Chains A and B, each alone.
Chain A
Amino acid sequence: MSHLKYFRIDERLIHGQILQKWLKYTGCSNILVIDDETAKDPIIQSVLEMTLPGNINVLFLNVSDGVAQLSKMQEDCFVLMKDLETLQQVFEQGTDVVQVNICRLPYFPGKKKIYQNIFVSDAEETILKEFMKQKIDVYIQMVPDNEKIYAADLLK
Protein backbone atom coordinates (compact mmCIF):
# COMPACT_ATOMS: atom_id res chain seq x y z
CA MET A 1 0.00 0.00 0.00
CA SER A 2 1.34 3.40 -0.84
CA HIS A 3 1.80 5.90 1.93
CA LEU A 4 -0.39 8.97 2.28
CA LYS A 5 0.68 12.59 2.37
CA TYR A 6 -1.70 14.97 4.10
CA PHE A 7 -0.88 18.45 2.85
CA ARG A 8 -2.15 21.28 5.02
CA ILE A 9 -1.82 25.03 4.67
CA ASP A 10 -1.84 26.49 8.16
CA GLU A 11 0.02 29.69 8.95
CA ARG A 12 0.30 28.62 12.61
CA LEU A 13 2.00 25.32 11.68
CA ILE A 14 1.93 23.06 14.78
CA HIS A 15 -0.70 24.16 17.34
CA GLY A 16 -3.71 22.95 19.30
CA GLN A 17 -5.80 21.81 16.32
CA ILE A 18 -2.96 19.68 15.01
CA LEU A 19 -2.22 18.12 18.38
CA GLN A 20 -5.80 17.62 19.51
CA LYS A 21 -7.42 16.66 16.24
CA TRP A 22 -5.45 16.01 13.09
CA LEU A 23 -2.80 13.61 14.34
CA LYS A 24 -5.48 11.42 15.89
CA TYR A 25 -7.74 11.64 12.85
CA THR A 26 -5.05 10.77 10.31
CA GLY A 27 -3.12 8.38 12.53
CA CYS A 28 0.10 10.03 11.32
CA SER A 29 3.17 9.81 13.48
CA ASN A 30 5.32 11.87 11.10
CA ILE A 31 5.08 15.62 10.68
CA LEU A 32 7.03 17.44 8.03
CA VAL A 33 7.07 21.22 8.32
CA ILE A 34 8.20 22.83 5.07
CA ASP A 35 9.08 26.45 5.68
CA ASP A 36 12.32 28.20 4.77
CA GLU A 37 12.18 30.57 7.74
CA THR A 38 11.39 27.92 10.37
CA ALA A 39 14.00 25.57 8.91
CA LYS A 40 16.75 27.97 9.97
CA ASP A 41 15.34 29.02 13.36
CA PRO A 42 16.10 26.46 16.10
CA ILE A 43 14.20 28.45 18.75
CA ILE A 44 10.93 28.40 16.81
CA GLN A 45 11.49 24.69 16.11
CA SER A 46 12.01 23.94 19.80
CA VAL A 47 8.79 25.74 20.67
CA LEU A 48 6.74 24.01 17.97
CA GLU A 49 7.92 20.56 18.98
CA MET A 50 7.71 21.21 22.73
CA THR A 51 4.17 19.87 23.05
CA LEU A 52 4.38 16.96 20.63
CA PRO A 53 3.97 13.52 22.17
CA GLY A 54 7.16 11.43 22.18
CA ASN A 55 5.89 9.02 19.50
CA ILE A 56 5.59 11.79 16.90
CA ASN A 57 8.55 12.50 14.61
CA VAL A 58 8.92 15.99 13.26
CA LEU A 59 11.25 17.49 10.67
CA PHE A 60 11.62 21.18 9.83
CA LEU A 61 12.97 21.56 6.30
CA ASN A 62 13.30 24.21 3.64
CA VAL A 63 11.49 23.71 0.33
CA SER A 64 14.19 21.82 -1.56
CA ASP A 65 15.07 19.54 1.39
CA GLY A 66 11.34 19.04 2.01
CA VAL A 67 10.78 17.91 -1.56
CA ALA A 68 13.71 15.46 -1.29
CA GLN A 69 12.35 14.12 2.01
CA LEU A 70 8.86 13.64 0.57
CA SER A 71 10.21 11.64 -2.35
CA LYS A 72 11.78 9.10 -0.01
CA MET A 73 9.16 8.92 2.79
CA GLN A 74 8.06 5.35 3.39
CA GLU A 75 5.30 6.16 5.88
CA ASP A 76 2.21 8.36 6.07
CA CYS A 77 3.12 11.96 6.66
CA PHE A 78 1.35 15.13 7.75
CA VAL A 79 2.89 17.97 5.76
CA LEU A 80 2.48 21.50 7.09
CA MET A 81 3.18 24.70 5.19
CA LYS A 82 2.37 28.32 6.04
CA ASP A 83 1.12 29.43 2.66
CA LEU A 84 0.05 28.50 -0.85
CA GLU A 85 3.26 29.87 -2.38
CA THR A 86 5.28 27.24 -0.53
CA LEU A 87 3.00 24.44 -1.69
CA GLN A 88 3.23 25.72 -5.25
CA GLN A 89 7.04 25.47 -5.06
CA VAL A 90 6.82 21.97 -3.59
CA PHE A 91 4.47 20.95 -6.39
CA GLU A 92 6.57 22.54 -9.13
CA GLN A 93 9.66 20.76 -7.85
CA GLY A 94 8.00 17.48 -8.63
CA THR A 95 6.05 16.39 -5.56
CA ASP A 96 2.85 14.51 -6.29
CA VAL A 97 -0.02 16.44 -4.68
CA VAL A 98 -3.52 14.97 -4.80
CA GLN A 99 -5.32 16.79 -2.01
CA VAL A 100 -4.72 19.96 -0.04
CA ASN A 101 -6.39 20.97 3.18
CA ILE A 102 -6.48 24.70 3.85
CA CYS A 103 -6.99 25.71 7.46
CA ARG A 104 -6.81 29.47 7.13
CA LEU A 105 -5.41 32.16 4.92
CA PRO A 106 -5.08 35.20 7.18
CA TYR A 107 -6.36 38.63 6.41
CA PHE A 108 -4.12 41.37 5.03
CA PRO A 109 -5.28 44.64 3.49
CA GLY A 110 -6.23 44.10 -0.14
CA LYS A 111 -7.27 40.49 0.27
CA LYS A 112 -10.80 39.34 -0.40
CA LYS A 113 -12.78 37.02 1.80
CA ILE A 114 -13.97 33.83 0.11
CA TYR A 115 -14.93 31.90 3.22
CA GLN A 116 -14.72 32.07 7.00
CA ASN A 117 -11.04 32.76 7.85
CA ILE A 118 -10.04 32.42 4.21
CA PHE A 119 -8.78 35.62 2.63
CA VAL A 120 -7.10 35.48 -0.78
CA SER A 121 -4.88 37.90 -2.66
CA ASP A 122 -4.91 37.96 -6.46
CA ALA A 123 -1.71 35.90 -6.44
CA GLU A 124 -3.27 33.29 -4.12
CA GLU A 125 -6.39 33.09 -6.25
CA THR A 126 -4.21 32.42 -9.30
CA ILE A 127 -2.41 29.59 -7.45
CA LEU A 128 -5.71 28.06 -6.34
CA LYS A 129 -7.04 28.12 -9.90
CA GLU A 130 -3.82 26.58 -11.17
CA PHE A 131 -4.14 23.76 -8.61
CA MET A 132 -7.71 23.14 -9.76
CA LYS A 133 -6.52 22.96 -13.36
CA GLN A 134 -4.01 20.34 -12.24
CA LYS A 135 -6.92 18.34 -10.74
CA ILE A 136 -5.71 18.84 -7.18
CA ASP A 137 -8.56 18.68 -4.67
CA VAL A 138 -8.31 21.85 -2.62
CA TYR A 139 -10.62 22.10 0.36
CA ILE A 140 -11.08 24.20 3.45
CA GLN A 141 -11.40 22.31 6.72
CA MET A 142 -10.20 23.67 10.02
CA VAL A 143 -10.68 20.49 12.03
CA PRO A 144 -11.84 17.02 10.91
CA ASP A 145 -15.29 17.57 12.47
CA ASN A 146 -15.96 20.41 10.02
CA GLU A 147 -17.42 19.71 6.62
CA LYS A 148 -15.00 20.02 3.69
CA ILE A 149 -15.62 23.14 1.63
CA TYR A 150 -14.13 22.81 -1.84
CA ALA A 151 -12.31 25.83 -3.23
CA ALA A 152 -13.69 24.97 -6.66
CA ASP A 153 -17.18 25.80 -5.36
CA LEU A 154 -16.05 29.18 -4.01
CA LEU A 155 -14.03 30.32 -7.02
CA LYS A 156 -16.34 29.51 -9.88
Chain B
Amino acid sequence: MEKTTQIILLTHGTWGKELIVSAEMIIGKISSCSALELMPEDAVADYMKRIEEMMGQSKEVLLLADLYGGTPANIASVYAKKKKNVYALSGLNLDMLIGAEKLREKYSGNELVEAIKKEVIETCKNLNE
Protein backbone atom coordinates (compact mmCIF):
# COMPACT_ATOMS: atom_id res chain seq x y z
CA MET B 1 0.00 0.00 0.00
CA GLU B 2 1.32 3.44 -0.91
CA LYS B 3 1.77 5.56 2.19
CA THR B 4 0.55 9.15 2.07
CA THR B 5 3.66 10.65 3.61
CA GLN B 6 7.03 9.93 2.04
CA ILE B 7 9.95 10.04 4.50
CA ILE B 8 13.37 11.31 3.41
CA LEU B 9 16.33 11.29 5.81
CA LEU B 10 18.88 14.08 5.30
CA THR B 11 22.22 13.39 6.95
CA HIS B 12 25.85 14.44 7.15
CA GLY B 13 27.49 11.42 5.51
CA THR B 14 25.89 8.07 4.81
CA TRP B 15 24.51 7.04 8.19
CA GLY B 16 20.89 7.69 7.13
CA LYS B 17 20.98 4.56 4.98
CA GLU B 18 22.33 2.55 7.91
CA LEU B 19 19.68 4.02 10.20
CA ILE B 20 16.97 2.63 7.92
CA VAL B 21 18.65 -0.80 8.06
CA SER B 22 18.77 -0.59 11.88
CA ALA B 23 15.15 0.52 12.16
CA GLU B 24 14.08 -2.34 9.90
CA MET B 25 15.83 -4.78 12.29
CA ILE B 26 13.35 -3.64 14.89
CA ILE B 27 10.09 -2.97 13.08
CA GLY B 28 10.53 -4.73 9.73
CA LYS B 29 10.44 -3.31 6.22
CA ILE B 30 9.79 0.42 5.99
CA SER B 31 8.31 1.45 2.67
CA SER B 32 8.34 4.90 1.10
CA CYS B 33 11.41 5.92 3.05
CA SER B 34 14.86 6.79 1.75
CA ALA B 35 18.04 8.60 2.75
CA LEU B 36 20.09 11.27 1.02
CA GLU B 37 23.60 11.92 2.22
CA LEU B 38 25.38 15.26 2.11
CA MET B 39 29.10 14.70 1.62
CA PRO B 40 31.82 17.31 2.25
CA GLU B 41 32.49 17.76 -1.48
CA ASP B 42 28.81 18.15 -2.44
CA ALA B 43 27.49 21.44 -3.72
CA VAL B 44 24.35 22.62 -1.93
CA ALA B 45 22.57 23.22 -5.26
CA ASP B 46 23.30 19.66 -6.31
CA TYR B 47 22.06 18.25 -3.01
CA MET B 48 18.85 20.25 -3.34
CA LYS B 49 18.37 18.89 -6.85
CA ARG B 50 18.66 15.33 -5.51
CA ILE B 51 16.12 16.10 -2.79
CA GLU B 52 13.69 17.58 -5.31
CA GLU B 53 14.07 14.59 -7.61
CA MET B 54 13.35 12.27 -4.71
CA MET B 55 10.33 14.26 -3.54
CA GLY B 56 9.00 13.99 -7.10
CA GLN B 57 5.23 14.09 -7.19
CA SER B 58 4.66 12.89 -3.61
CA LYS B 59 1.48 14.14 -2.02
CA GLU B 60 3.29 14.82 1.24
CA VAL B 61 6.94 14.67 2.24
CA LEU B 62 8.48 14.50 5.70
CA LEU B 63 12.15 15.48 5.83
CA LEU B 64 14.04 14.20 8.88
CA ALA B 65 17.39 15.98 9.20
CA ASP B 66 20.23 15.23 11.59
CA LEU B 67 21.97 18.21 13.21
CA TYR B 68 19.94 21.28 14.13
CA GLY B 69 21.73 24.20 12.48
CA GLY B 70 23.58 21.96 10.04
CA THR B 71 23.16 22.28 6.28
CA PRO B 72 20.77 19.30 5.82
CA ALA B 73 18.46 20.75 8.48
CA ASN B 74 18.79 24.25 7.03
CA ILE B 75 17.77 22.97 3.61
CA ALA B 76 14.89 20.97 5.14
CA SER B 77 13.69 24.11 6.85
CA VAL B 78 13.79 26.10 3.61
CA TYR B 79 11.63 23.46 1.88
CA ALA B 80 9.24 23.28 4.82
CA LYS B 81 8.74 27.03 4.62
CA LYS B 82 8.55 27.29 0.84
CA LYS B 83 6.61 24.19 -0.16
CA LYS B 84 3.09 23.53 1.04
CA ASN B 85 3.27 19.73 1.22
CA VAL B 86 6.73 19.47 2.83
CA TYR B 87 7.23 19.08 6.59
CA ALA B 88 10.50 18.80 8.44
CA LEU B 89 12.08 17.90 11.79
CA SER B 90 15.67 18.05 13.03
CA GLY B 91 17.42 15.79 15.53
CA LEU B 92 17.14 12.54 13.58
CA ASN B 93 17.72 9.35 15.54
CA LEU B 94 16.38 5.79 15.68
CA ASP B 95 13.49 6.73 17.94
CA MET B 96 12.49 9.47 15.52
CA LEU B 97 12.50 7.22 12.48
CA ILE B 98 10.57 4.44 14.20
CA GLY B 99 8.15 7.00 15.63
CA ALA B 100 7.64 8.61 12.22
CA GLU B 101 6.95 5.24 10.60
CA LYS B 102 4.33 4.41 13.22
CA LEU B 103 2.72 7.84 13.46
CA ARG B 104 2.34 8.47 9.74
CA GLU B 105 -0.31 5.73 9.72
CA LYS B 106 -2.47 7.97 11.86
CA TYR B 107 -1.38 11.58 11.30
CA SER B 108 -0.27 13.83 8.51
CA GLY B 109 1.06 17.35 7.99
CA ASN B 110 1.86 19.51 10.97
CA GLU B 111 0.00 17.14 13.30
CA LEU B 112 2.38 14.39 12.29
CA VAL B 113 5.42 16.60 12.96
CA GLU B 114 4.14 17.58 16.40
CA ALA B 115 3.27 13.99 17.32
CA ILE B 116 6.75 12.76 16.37
CA LYS B 117 8.46 15.60 18.21
CA LYS B 118 6.48 14.91 21.37
CA GLU B 119 7.31 11.22 21.25
CA VAL B 120 11.02 11.68 20.56
CA ILE B 121 11.48 14.18 23.39
CA GLU B 122 10.02 11.56 25.73
CA THR B 123 12.66 9.01 24.72
CA CYS B 124 15.69 10.98 25.87
CA LYS B 125 16.10 9.78 29.46
CA ASN B 126 18.71 9.75 32.16
CA LEU B 127 19.10 6.00 32.50
CA ASN B 128 20.93 6.27 35.82
CA GLU B 129 17.71 7.29 37.48
Residues of A within 8 A of B71 (CB): 12, 15-16
Interface string of B27-61 (1 = CB under 8 A from A): 00000000000001111101000000000000000
Interface size range of chain B in the complex: 10 to 19
A46 at the interface (CB under 8 A from B): yes
Instruction: Give A130 Cβ to nearest chain B Cβ, in Å.
Output: 23
**Which chain A residue has the least Cβ–Cβ distance from B39?**
A117
Q: How many A-B residue pairs have CB under 8 A?
A: 48
| CB of B77 closer than 8 Å to a CB of A | yes
* A50–B69 alpha-carbon span in the complex (Å): 8
Size category of the binding interface on chain A: 20 to 34
User: Which residues of B63-98 are within 8 A (CB) of A?
Assistant: 67-71, 74, 77-78, 81-82
- Distance, CA A16 to CA B67, complexed state (A): 8
Residues of chain B at the chain A interface (Cβ within 8 Å): 12, 40-44, 46, 67-71, 74, 77-78, 81-82
Question: Can you add 19 more A-B contacts, CB < 8 Å, to A47-B77, A48-B74, A117-B41?
Answer: A11-B43, A12-B71, A15-B70, A15-B71, A15-B74, A16-B70, A16-B71, A19-B69, A43-B78, A43-B82, A46-B81, A47-B78, A47-B81, A106-B42, A106-B43, A106-B46, A108-B43, A117-B40, A142-B40
